[in-house]
Structure 1
Amino acid sequence: MAVDNAVLVESAEAPVQPARWRLAGALWLLGLPGVVAVVWALLPTLKANEALLPLPLGAVVLLSGLQTAVLLALAVALGVWLAPRVGLRVPAVSSWLVGQPIGPALRAQVVPGVWGGVAGAAWLWALAQAAPTALQPSDPASAMPLVAKLLYGGVTEELLVRWGVMTLVLWLGWRVLQRGRGQPGKGLVAVAVLLSALLFALGHLPAAQALAGALTAPVVVFVLVGNTAFGLVAGWLYARHGLEAAIIAHVLAHLLSYPLL
């Protein structure tokens, strides 16, 4: 995968550097609605299996939300600390936090983000046509609500996987192989994009197992290939244009594909 060394993010202006604590707080709050949405989406399933729960339903819901919120905080903190060191950015949010217009930073990301979202929607539709029978819900009403896909999938997952995991992978490679000197080479960026995409795909296996009942070879291959492909697109958008471009693509992919699935 060709990634311009100019990395990573193109901007004619000097990099915007808000206070770390302000950026961390803003990004954590940005991802929090997705945490609430996904827990709310899982509530009917938890209620249906309440007798099997090791704790009262309310405690399980609270702990599930807290666990995800803590993971989000960790990912946000990693990104805030490490992203500037390897040339990765969240330009529009950073501009807003320091009182600069977000228009220029956002405009540079909209077009690539939209293209990524359209490609992602087409890919999701194609995957739906080839999905193993075990992954097709018998009751359409049990499918993940659109609001959870948009808020958690589109925003929270990007903060967890791209801002947190991909940034960490790139920083580790940069520190080990380049000894923290200069900007990360395009090979390191490509590896970080690939590894984060694979981890993104692996993170979908528990949900696939819950839906299919068992992780058969066709289910595993389908989930890994399908999610890795989009993870490559989102990772490239983050590296090349900024985190908001990856968020735009992820949100739009779910929004455009939802009526077709």
Structure 2
Amino acid sequence: MNDGSSTWGAAARGAVALYVLGMVGVAALAIHSVPSLRAIPELAVLSYPTLVLVAAANSTVLLAVFVALGAATAPRTGLHSHVFAWASGGSPDWDAYRRSLPLAVGLGAALFVLITVIDVALAPFTGLESVEAIGDATVLEDLLASVPMRLLYGGITEELLLRWGVMAPIAFVLWWVRNRIGEQTEEPPTAVLWVAIFASAVAFGVGHLPALASTFDLTPALVVRTVLLNTIVGVALGWLFWRRSLETAMVAHAAFHVVLVAVSVVAMLLF
């Protein structure tokens, strides 16, 4: 399948399309972060639009860097994005994407169940009761307010950062090194892709620690739990990116959060 990446101009168009898509998630994250920023005395005097810009600044720059890295490496390693293919003048297989949706939704739901079971098993060591503790109406309200951020930033932007922007470059670099020191291959071997999947999944897990540290005192058990659970999710999403498409991984990631929120809301209403 041709991603239209034979020229830099085509790759740039694909990168811009993915960047615009990812900025939807950045905006959702920034809006969600405004109340927290208002709690900081030095920032409380700033206007709402200014706070949104402050909240979006780092992610805006990081997204540009990682989208560019992915645009330069993903097509060369056979890792596919339908949006990138469409915008760069290639041939996106939308039928294949539609056929992958049941797998994406099912895998996202299954991941939630698996993560919940493991989290409950680790609770005696971490002191956490569940993946998403629901205690009162305020917590439920906060959870519902986080839905756009979870679906758009988590489902779209995080996949662009970690799968497109980290997994693809790692796969490309490992493949390039292997071709220089060993037998040359026309595409990355399976082992190279699995290393890239695992490395980006661990980065995905580590990337959740700063947010966790803002709520809990980090203990070794809590760090291991957080990195482990997110690595499991990251491996599954990386596999989807490799075997199907970036957009399939996005849908699975979003489906995970949909099930999480739905189960949390039902638990709150019933108990």
Give the TM interval when normalised to the shorter protein: 0.7 to 0.9
Q: In terms of mean alpha carbon deviation, does 181-190 or 223-232 score higher?
A: 181-190
Superposed, 1:220-239 pairs within 5 Å as 220-239=223-242
Match among 50, 55, 58 for residue 64 of structure 1? 55
> Residues 6-46 of structure 1, C-alpha deviation per residue, up to 9 Å, x if partnerless?
xxxxxxxx323261122111101111111011111111111
Q: In terms of mean alpha carbon deviation, does 62-71 or 194-203 score higher?
A: 62-71
> Residues 75-103 of structure 1, C-alpha deviation per residue, up to 9 Å, x if partnerless?
11111111111111103552466385753
Could you say which residue in structure 2 is the equivalent of 1:38? 29
Q: How many residues align?
A: 246
Could you say which residue in structure 1 is the equivalent of 2:155? 154
Asked if residue 246 in structure 1 is aligned to residue 249 in structure 2, the reply is yes
| Aligned counterparts of 2:172 and 2:45: Cα–Cα separation in 1 | 40
> Residues 88-119 of structure 1, C-alpha deviation per residue, up to 9 Å, x if partnerless?
11035524663857532313432331232121
Asked if residue 51 in structure 1 is aligned to residue 45 in structure 2, the reply is no
**Helix, strand or coil at the partner of 1:51:** coil
Kept in 2: contact 1:124–1:257 (CA 8 A)? no
Q: In terms of mean alpha carbon deviation, does 172-181 or 225-234 score higher?
A: 172-181
Relative contact order higher in (CA < 8 Å, ≥ 6 apart): 1
Kept in 1: contact 2:101–2:248 (CA 8 A)? yes
Match among 188, 194, 197 for residue 198 of structure 2? 194
Q: In terms of mean alpha carbon deviation, does 132-141 or 72-81 score higher?
A: 132-141
Could you say which residue in structure 1 is the equivalent of 2:188? 184
TM-score, normalised via structure 1 length: 0.84
Could you say which residue in structure 1 is the equivalent of 2:166? 165
> AA paired with 2:33?
L
Kept in 2: contact 1:122–1:257 (CA 8 A)? no
Asked if residue 29 in structure 1 is aligned to residue 20 in structure 2, the reply is yes
> AA paired with 2:224?
V
Kept in 2: contact 1:197–1:230 (CA 8 A)? yes
Q: Note the C-alpha offset of 1:239.
A: 0.8
Q: Judging changes above 3 Å, is the alpha-carbon distance between structure 1 residues 176 and 61 closer, same or farther for their aligned structure 2 residues?
A: same
Asked if residue 259 in structure 1 is aligned to residue 249 in structure 2, the reply is no
Could you say which residue in structure 1 is the equivalent of 2:211? 207
Superposed, 1:97-136 pairs within 5 Å as 98=89, 102-126=93-117, 129=120, 132-133=126-127, 136=133
> Residues 186-210 of structure 1, C-alpha deviation per residue, up to 9 Å, x if partnerless?
1111100000000000000000100
| Aligned counterparts of 2:166 and 2:94: Cα–Cα separation in 1 | 27
Q: Judging changes above 3 Å, is the alpha-carbon distance between structure 1 residues 103 and 96 closer, same or farther for their aligned structure 2 residues?
A: farther
Superposed, 1:7-18 pairs within 5 Å as 14-17=1-4
Q: In terms of mean alpha carbon deviation, does 58-67 or 236-245 score higher?
A: 58-67
Give RMSD over aligned pairs.
2.6
Kept in 1: contact 2:17–2:87 (CA 8 A)? no
> AA paired with 2:222?
V
Structure 1 residues not aligned, in runs of 5+: 1-13
**Helix, strand or coil at the partner of 1:183:** coil
> AA paired with 1:176?
V
Q: Judging changes above 3 Å, is the alpha-carbon distance between structure 1 residues 101 and 233 closer, same or farther for their aligned structure 2 residues?
A: closer
Identity of aligned residues (%): 33
Could you say which residue in structure 1 is the equivalent of 2:269? none
**Helix, strand or coil at the partner of 1:222:** helix
> AA paired with 1:51?
P
| Aligned counterparts of 1:29 and 1:136: Cα–Cα separation in 2 | 33
| Aligned counterparts of 2:218 and 2:263: Cα–Cα separation in 1 | 26
| Aligned counterparts of 1:92 and 1:37: Cα–Cα separation in 2 | 20
> Residues 199-234 of structure 1, C-alpha deviation per residue, up to 9 Å, x if partnerless?
00000000010011x211121111111100000000
**Helix, strand or coil at the partner of 1:84:** helix
| Aligned counterparts of 1:196 and 1:39: Cα–Cα separation in 2 | 24
